[in-house]
Amino acid sequence: MVIQPKVRGFICTTAHPVGCAKHVQEQIDYVKSQPRVEGPKKVLVIGSSTGYGLASRIAAAFGSGAATLGVCFEKPASDNRTATAGWYNTAAFHEAAKAAGLYAKTINGDAFSDAIKQEVIDIIRSDLGQVDLVIYSLASPRRTHPRTGETFSSVLKPIGKPFTDKTVNFHTGQVSEVSLEPATDEEIRQTVAVMGGEDWDMWMHALNEAGVLADGVMTVAYSYIGPELTKAVYRDGTIGRAKDDLEATAHALTDYLKTRGGRAFVSVNKAVVTQSSSAIPVVPLYMSLLFRVMKDKGLHEGCAEQMYRLFAQRLYGQNEIPVDEAGRIRLDDWEMKEDVQAEVRSLWTQVTTENLLALTDIEGYRSEFMKLFGFGLAGVDYAADVNPDVPFA
Ligand code: NAD
C-alpha cells in the first residue's frame, strides 16, 4: 500500500515503515559519529520503542556495544492499518543491531503487568544472566494496577486554580487561548498512579528478588521541570505531582539497592517532540519558541543527542555522577540557561497566529512531529507501494 499521514489532533494514525527505519538510522548514525563510551554492557529498557527510551537503547547499543532487551506496547499492522511507529522503530532497531552483531530482543506487552515483568526476568536469566543498567522510560495515559486490578487514567491539568494561557494548534498554526480547570484530588491520585514511581519500584524489586541485577547496577527514570511559562500545566500540575513521586522513588530505590552497590537516578531531560509531549497543552508553543532560540544559539538537541550526553557525560566516564541539589541528573541545563529562557519569555509575549512563522520554529516542530511517524524523511519514496506488515523480530 501507499502510506500517507493521517493526523488526528496530536496523533498520526498511520506510520511509514521505511521512514521510521530511516529515523532510527539517523539516530544510530549520530551516536556512531560520536566517541565510543565505556558504558553499560547489558541493558533493560522499559519503554524502548519511541522517544527517550528508544534513544537510550540506541546510545547503549551503538555507543557502548551493549546487549539490549526492550519492553514496549505497540501494535502490528492489521487489515488496512499500518503498525504503530514504535513497532516499525523496533523492527528497524533489531535489524541494525543484528547487522552490528549486537544482542537485541523486545517484549511487546503491558509493562505495568506482573506477567510481562516475569517474562522479562525469564529472558534475562536465559539470555543475559544479569543486567547492569535499567532505563525506565514509560509514558502512558493509563495503567492497570497488577494487584488491585484498578485502572487509572492520567490527566494534564493544573492544581489548585484554573489556568489560562496561549497555546498553538501546530497543524493549523492557530494561536489561541486555552483554559484548563484544576484537577480534582481523584485526578491527581490517578495521574500519580500512572506516571509516578510505583511501577518503577515494582520493576526494580521484581528484578532484584529474581537475582537478575548485577552488582553496581544503575537505574534511571526520566523527568522534566521546564520554565515558569509551563509551570502551571507541567511541574505544578498533575504530571508534576507524578514526577515528584518518581523523583522520591529514586531515593528509595538507591537505599533499596545499596547492598549490591546499586544506584537509582532521575534524569531531568530537555523538552523534545515525542508522541507524549505533543499532547500537553501550551508545551508545543513553548517548544516551537525554544527550538528557534536553541537553534539560533547552536544548542539544539533531540532525543539522540540528549541520551548520548546522558551516557557519555553523566552516567559513565566520570569519577562522580554530577547531580543537582535534589540528587537529579540535569540534561536540561542548556534549555534552562538564563539567556535562552529570557529570549523565549520575550518572544512568548509577542507571538500570535500572524507572526508564528516569523517568531517560532513551528516548521521544525511540525517536521519533528511527522518524523515520529516516519514521514518527511529525505530519501524515502512516499509514493512507492510498501508492505506495512513488517516482522518485529
Ligand atoms: P514516548 O511516548 O515517546 O515513549 C513512551 C514509551 O513507553 C514507548 O516505548 C511505549 O511503547 C511505552 N509504553 C507506554 N505504555 C506502555 C505499557 N503499558 N507497557 C509497555 N510499554 C509502554 O514518550 P517520551 O516522551 O519519550 O517519554 C518517556 C519519559 O521521558 C517519560 O517519563 C517522560 O515524562 C520523560 N520526559 C519526556 C520529555 C519530552 O519532552 N518528551 C522531557 C523530559 C522527560
Domains identified in the chain and CATH numbers: 7-145+189-282+300-333 (3.40.50.720)
**What pLDDT does 268 receive?**
98
Q: Element (H or E) spanning 21, and its range?
A: helix 17-33
The pick from 50, 194, 294 for probing ligand 1's pocket by mutation, whose C-beta has the most ligand atoms within 8 angstroms, reads: 50
Specify the pLDDT at position 64.
98
Q: In which element (H, E) is residue 185 found?
A: helix 185-195
Supply the residue whose CA is at minimum distance from atom 16 of ligand 1.
73
**Which pLDDT score is estimated for 131?**
98
How far is CA 336 from each of CA 36, 45, 116, 278, rounded to the nearest angstrom? 28, 27, 37, 20
Residue with CA nearest ligand 1 atom 14: 140
What is the CA angle 274-277-279, rounded to 5?
A: 115
Distance from Cα 47 to the centre of ligand 1, integer Å: 6
Closest ligand 1 atom, residue 138 Cα: 7
**Alpha-carbon torsion angle 280, 283, 284, 289, nearest 10:** 180
Question: Ligand 1 centre and the CA of 204: distance in Å?
Answer: 18
* Residues of the chain falling short of pLDDT 70: none
Q: Are 278 and 288 in contact (CB under 8 A)?
A: no
Residue 49 CA: which ligand 1 atom is closest?
9
* The amino acid at 203: W
In angstroms, the first-to-last Cα distance of the chain is 22
CA of 165 to the centre of ligand 1 (A): 25
Ligand 1 mean position to 349 CA, how many Å?
30
> Is 382 marked active-site?
no
If we measure between CA atoms, which residue out of 209, 276, 267 comes closest to residue 73?
Answer: 276
Write the DSSP string, 347-362.
Answer: HHHH--TTTHHHHS-H
Distance 195 CA to ligand 1 centre (A): 10
pLDDT number for residue 275: 84
Q: Which residues line ligand 1 (CB under 6 A)?
A: 47-53, 71-74, 86, 110-112, 137-140, 222-224, 269, 271-272, 274-277
Q: Of 10, 49, 71, 137, which is best to mutate to test ligand 1, by the most ligand atoms within 8 angstroms of its C-beta?
A: 137
The reported pLDDT for the residue numbered 277 is: 86
- Separation CA 162–CA 183 (nearest Å): 9
Residue range 241-294, pLDDT digits in tens: 999 999 999 999 999 999 999 999 999 999 999 988 888 889 999 999 999 999
Which entry of 52, 136, 224, 234 is annotated as an active-site residue? 234
Cell of 67: 546487549
To test ligand 1's pocket by mutation, which of 75, 140, 144 has the most ligand atoms within 8 angstroms of CB?
140
Q: Look at ligand 1, atom 5, and give the residue with the nearest C-alpha.
A: 139
**Residue of 41, 88, 89, 98 lying closest to 67 (CA atoms):** 41
